[in-house]
């Protein structure tokens, strides 16, 4: 069975339910997107969130995918960087508890990154992210033998350092790994379109996008047209269309478009839905399942995480959602 390693921002999610969109407007946070904030912005945001109920969980897009894949029984690893603080130790302990080979650089005098997931009454989540130590993940990469793995899963959020991201991708390809890339957020795709286009063309084998990201990437309004654009540049392309399901194309099956309908489940919080979709899809892929089945697995795992606050799906529940395992 193929081994998969993720690399991304090692973050701890702070999940907060808002009563309205007012705070998003106050902080100029594009709804449904991800915005970087500095330490001063983080402290100001925390002051505004005082008194609102919150929960803490491991986070970071690639980390979420790897955690879910580990629960599903896959051999996994994760590369990242944390601060020398209690939050960083929490992230490391949670990762190792799931059996993940964890390669974390510990950065002195830096805070572990936090992703403030602001959930509005319509269940949409908007991230205000302070990266902190997470940006120094390249230090951890130097100590990892990538040749022990078959697939690298990477998040588009790493575009905060384009040079480092391209170096990671080049290193993975030179080591013979298949590269799986999640476009991460529509506003990142919009703001870094030319760079992302080049990275996907030169390095990416499997590309994940939601509807908004695919439209921003292709500059086409129709998700199927956007899918064809992605598929022309990769071996496998996936476009998720929310509760409706997901489309997929593969070079191995030519121009055929596959579609798997979504599952109707009550929505509590959409945080990590795309990350869990990637986990289910990649689980199917490493077990030799056809593309249509991989899409269905992705829909099933995504449907579980939207029913809970954050990413804390019970392991038995996640395993049962795929063929009763």
The domain spanning residue 289 has which CATH number? 3.40.1190.20
Q: Is 44 helix (H, G, I), strand (E, B) or coil?
A: helix
Distance, in Å, from the CA atom of 2 to the CA atom of 253, rounded to the nearest integer, reads: 21
> What is the value of pTM for the model shown?
0.89
Does 285 map to a domain?
yes
Confirm whether 280 is domain-assigned: yes
The dihedrals phi and psi of 236, each to the nearest 5 degrees, come to -135, 130
Measure CA of the first residue to CA of the last residue in the chain; give whole Å: 17
Residue-by-residue pLDDT tens, the chain, 325 positions: 799 999 999 999 888 989 899 999 999 999 888 898 998 998 999 899 988 888 888 889 999 999 999 999 999 999 999 999 999 999 999 999 999 999 999 999 899 999 898 988 988 889 899 999 999 998 888 889 999 999 999 999 898 788 889 999 999 999 999 999 999 888 889 889 999 999 999 999 999 999 999 999 998 888 888 899 999 999 999 999 999 999 999 998 888 999 999 998 888 877 789 999 999 999 999 999 999 999 999 999 999 998 887 787 888 888 998 866 5
Alpha-carbon distance 322 to 325, whole Å?
6
Find the domain containing 54 and state its range: 4-320
Q: Is 255 inside any structural domain? A: yes
Q: Count of domains in the chain?
A: 1
d(CA 78, CA 193): 27
Q: Are 118 and 126 in contact (CB under 8 A)?
A: yes
The answer to the question of residue 281 being in a domain is yes
The answer to whether position 304 is within a domain reads yes
Task: Give the model's pLDDT for residue 151.
Answer: 98
Is 241 among the domain residues?
A: yes
What's the rounded Cα separation, in Å, for the pair 82 and 77?
16
325 in a structural domain: no
């Amino acid at each position: 069975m193929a081994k998969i390693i993720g690399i991304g921002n090692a973050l701890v999610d702070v999940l907060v339910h808002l009563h309205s969109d007012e705070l998003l407007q106050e902080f100029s946070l594009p709804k449904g997107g991800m915005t970087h904030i500095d330490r001063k912005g983080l402290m100001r945001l925390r002051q505004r969130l005082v008194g609102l109920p919150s929960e803490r969980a491991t986070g970071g897009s690639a980390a979420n995918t790897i955690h879910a894949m580990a629960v599903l029984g896959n051999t996994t690893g994760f590369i990242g960087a944390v601060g020398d603080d209690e939050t960083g130790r929490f992230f490391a302990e949670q990762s190792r508890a799931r059996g993940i080979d964890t390669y974390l650089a510990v950065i002195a005098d830096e805070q572990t990154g936090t992703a403030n997931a602001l959930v509005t009454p319509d269940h949409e989540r908007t991230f205000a992210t302070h990266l902190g130590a997470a940006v120094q993940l390249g230090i951890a990469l130097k100590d990892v033998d990538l040749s022990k793995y078959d697939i690298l899963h990477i998040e588009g959020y790493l575009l905060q350092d384009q040079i480092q991201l391209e170096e990671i991708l080049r290193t993975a390809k030179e080591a013979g790994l298949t590269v799986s890339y999640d476009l991460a957020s529509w506003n990142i795709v919009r703001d870094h379109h030319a760079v992302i286009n080049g990275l996907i063309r030169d390095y990416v084998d499997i590309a994940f996008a939601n509807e908004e990201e695919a439209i921003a990437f292709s500059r086409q309004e129709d998700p199927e047209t956007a899918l064809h654009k992605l598929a022309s540049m990769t071996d496998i392309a996936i476009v998720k269309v929310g509760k409706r399901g997901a489309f997929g194309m593969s070079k191995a099956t030519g121009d055929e478009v596959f579609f798997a309908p979504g599952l109707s489940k009550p929505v509590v919080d959409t945080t990590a839905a795309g990350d869990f979709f990637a986990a289910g899809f990649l689980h199917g892929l490493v077990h030799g399942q056809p593309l249509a089945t991989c899409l269905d697995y992705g829909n099933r795992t995504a449907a579980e995480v939207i029913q809970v606050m954050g990413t804390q799906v019970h392991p038995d529940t996640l395993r049962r959602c795929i063929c009763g395992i």
